[in-house]
């Protein structure tokens, strides 16, 4: 049966609009709003440097120019962007895209450099039409997407030449059944991405009750548009992610997050190029 991608994307988006609670309170776990380690120390390192230090390196010399960060799946409060604002102040312009954004009365501070847009990251091109970014991040957002590798390409498209991206929790085997069956394909796929200058940090995770590989991705945009060697498979994949909300210290709650995504097949002929 052919997968109606648009319909799946729409359904998953509706689910995520309702189910936003968990890591949206992430920065509140250890400290009250506006205090604490924030994201600086939580982000994966890249080339032995904290990601924020890479962004420091992109800061334009001309003081009137700003560094623009677009955060995919920013959460309704845009905490990562708030951290960026605290670091770079009026040299910073941040756009967060999320399926739900907080009402003004829920926000205790205002941050002039931070703008949150309600919408689906699959439509990011349309939501921030004509904009380009020095930095794109997607932190704990990719597992909720119907078509994550398409979104990876959208992110590359949005970057200015020399701009950088950092994405975590990008599923591999879970969406590429051939890879789940034959782990040598995973190595070939990762090698392909590395040859194109993408840093792939692989790790094992539990997915649908099984051990499975996912990865963080970081790269600097070069002149060539990123084309991931995947095509859509015919079978959609049902997901059940167990979310354990430990932010309620005395009474941690757990709930299941259900949605359906596309599956991918590998373009094997491209892997060796
Ligand atoms: C686990 S939270 C992560 C938030 C934040 N990036 C962080 O690291 O704390 C995932 C967020 O992605 C949002 N989300 C899920 N699917 C989305 C979609 N298709 N488009 C936009 N936002 C989405 C959810 O509403 C939620 O706020």
> Residue 120 and residue 149: Cα distance in Å, rounded?
15
Question: How many A from CA of 141 to the centre of ligand 1?
Answer: 5
Q: What angle do helix axes 51-58 and 79-88 make, rounded to 10 degrees? A: 50
Count of other CB atoms within 10 angstroms of residue 57: 8
Count of other CB atoms within 10 angstroms of residue 203: 11
Q: Helix, strand, coil proportions of the chain in percent (round to 5)? A: 35, 30, 35
- CATH number for the domain harbouring residue 164: 3.40.50.150
The confidence score (pLDDT) of residue 2 equals 61
The confidence score (pLDDT) of residue 29 equals 42
Atom of ligand 1 lying closest to residue 120 CA: 20
> Residue 38 and residue 270: Cα distance in Å, rounded?
40
The confidence score (pLDDT) of residue 249 equals 55
Residue 251 C-beta-side C-alpha neighbours within 13 Å? 0
Closest CA relative to residue 172, chosen from 197, 137, 207: 207
Question: How many A from CA of 200 to the centre of ligand 1?
Answer: 21
Mind listing the pLDDT tens digit of every residue in the chain (273 residues)? 566 888 888 888 887 776 555 455 555 444 334 433 456 666 777 888 888 888 889 998 898 999 999 999 998 888 889 888 988 999 999 999 999 888 877 777 788 999 999 999 999 999 999 889 999 999 888 988 999 999 999 999 999 999 999 998 899 998 999 998 898 999 999 999 999 999 998 888 876 667 889 899 999 999 889 999 999 999 999 887 766 655 555 555 666 778 889 999 999 998 887
Q: Give the residue, by CA position, lying nearest to ligand 1 atom 20.
A: 120
Domain with 207, as residue range(s), is: 5-271
The confidence score (pLDDT) of residue 230 equals 97
Question: How many A from CA of 73 to the centre of ligand 1?
Answer: 4
> Residue 249 and residue 253: Cα distance in Å, rounded?
9
> Residue 236 and residue 175: Cα distance in Å, rounded?
9
Structural domain count of the chain: 1
Largest CA distance in the chain: 55
Cα–Cα distances in Å, from 94 out to 26, 123, 151?
Answer: 19, 18, 19
Pocket of ligand 1 (CB under 6 A): 13, 16, 20, 22-24, 26, 73-76, 97-100, 120-122, 139-141, 144-145
């Amino acid at each position: 049966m052919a997968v109606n991608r648009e319909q799946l994307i729409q359904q998953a988006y509706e689910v995520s609009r309702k189910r936003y609670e968990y890591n949206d309170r992430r920065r509140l776990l250890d400290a009250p709003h506006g205090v604490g380690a924030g994201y600086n120390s939580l982000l994966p390192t890249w080339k032995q440097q904290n990601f924020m230090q890479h962004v420091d390196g992109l800061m334009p010399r001309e003081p009137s120019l700003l560094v623009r960060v677009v955060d995919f799946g920013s959460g309704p409060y845009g905490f990562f962007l708030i951290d960026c604002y605290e670091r770079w102040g009026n040299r910073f312009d941040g756009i967060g895209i999320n399926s739900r954004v907080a009402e003004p009365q829920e926000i205790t501070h205002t941050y002039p450099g931070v703008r949150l847009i309600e919408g689906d990251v699959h439509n990011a091109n349309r939501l921030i039409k004509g904009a380009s970014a020095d930095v794109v991040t997607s932190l704990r957002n990719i597992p909720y997407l119907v078509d994550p590798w398409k979104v990876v390409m959208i992110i590359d498209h949005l970057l200015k030449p020399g701009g950088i991206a950092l994405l975590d929790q990008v599923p591999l085997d879970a969406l590429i059944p051939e890879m789940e069956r034959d782990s040598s394909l995973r190595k070939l796929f990762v090698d392909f991405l590395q040859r194109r200058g993408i840093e792939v940090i692989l790790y094992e995770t539990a997915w649908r009750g099984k051990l499975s590989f996912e990865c963080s991705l970081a790269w600097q945009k070069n002149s060539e548009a990123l084309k991931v060697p995947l095509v859509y498979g015919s079978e959609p994949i049902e997901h059940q992610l167990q979310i354990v909300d430990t932010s309620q210290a005395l009474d941690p709650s757990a709930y299941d997050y259900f949605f359906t995504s596309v599956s991918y097949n590998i373009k094997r002929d491209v892997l060796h190029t």
